[in-house]
Amino acid sequence: MATTTETTLRDAFVKARRERSLVDIETLPVPASLEEALSVQADVSSAMGYSHLGWKVSIAPDGRGLIGLMPGPFLKPGDTYRSVPGAELRVEIEIGIRLGRDMPRRPGKPYSRAELLEHCHSAFVGIEVVESRIADWTHVQFPLWLADAMGHGGYLIGQDVPFEVFDSIGELTCTIELDGDVLYDKPAVHGNGDALAPVLAWANREHESALGGLVAGQVITTGSLCGGVLAPNLGPVIARLDPLAAISFALA
């Protein structure tokens, strides 16, 4: 049975999504555990009727894998991401994968990195737009952030790249330009070292999740290579992962 915290968060996040509005953080309780936060995600997904088309993954401080639902919108280069008025937007340059085969949970027999790649259909340059339903999430506690799908707003899928890119992240450079101003220009760095580590952490989780598992056809984004770059205003964006791709889109 859902707890009071889960019910309160589910109702608040569902209302915000349906009405394209923001929620005051002071009105939101904090989940007592990461498991409770994931349950909130599952409840919101069910209430919204979302298809499980994709995931963003992360690793908790204790090493366990975590996941955030990406139900779309999935955009392509040249598209416009339409935000909620007043929402804070951040742009993240990433490498994503498409699963070609299901990866059911295997207790006692963890997947290796090589096996993960064998289950992938392809890899691509991706851009995540982070847009939380929480109005001011500067100091949000992580369980609450997780309950809101780690602030996922939308995802832009760029060109395919070879799997070998995961072995040469440090040779790449991330640049983000918004309305003619360069917001970020630094070497690519993944917070976990290996960009595939968060995917493996979730694939090798100890317990099943109400959100479900990894299924062929799903998109998984492996985490930012530039941190979360704040967009101080709206307008045309050019995001580069040199020398692989330059992707143009717009924030509105």
Q: What tens digit of pLDDT does each residue of 49-76 get?
A: 999 999 999 999 889 999 999 998 899 9
Residues 6+ apart with CB under 8 A from 251: 80, 81, 83, 89, 91, 129, 178, 231, 234, 235, 237
Q: How far is CA 130 from CA 4, 88, 170, 181, in A?
A: 27, 8, 23, 20
The reported pLDDT for the residue numbered 82 is: 96
pLDDT at 19 over 90: yes
pLDDT at 207 over 90: no
Predicted confidence band of residue 139 (pLDDT cuts 50, 70, 90): confident
d(C-alpha 86, C-alpha 97), whole Å: 31
pLDDT at 107 over 80: yes
3-state secondary structure of 110: coil
Predicted confidence band of residue 209 (pLDDT cuts 50, 70, 90): confident
Residue 239's CATH number = 3.90.850.10
The reported pLDDT for the residue numbered 81 is: 97
Average pLDDT of the chain? 95
Convert the pLDDT of each residue in 152-172 to its tens digit: 999 999 999 999 999 999 999
Q: Residues for the chain: how many in total?
A: 252
pLDDT at 29 over 90: yes
For 105, the token pair is: 């949970």
Q: What would the mean pLDDT of 177-191 be, rounded to a whole number?
A: 98
pLDDT at 1 over 80: no
- How many structural domains compose the chain? 1
Is the pTM higher than 0.85? The answer reads yes
pLDDT at 186 over 80: yes
d(C-alpha 247, C-alpha 45), whole Å: 29
| Domain span including residue 113 | 4-251
Lowest mean pLDDT: which of 61-65, 102-106, 233-237? 61-65
Q: What would the mean pLDDT of 112-124 be, rounded to a whole number?
A: 98
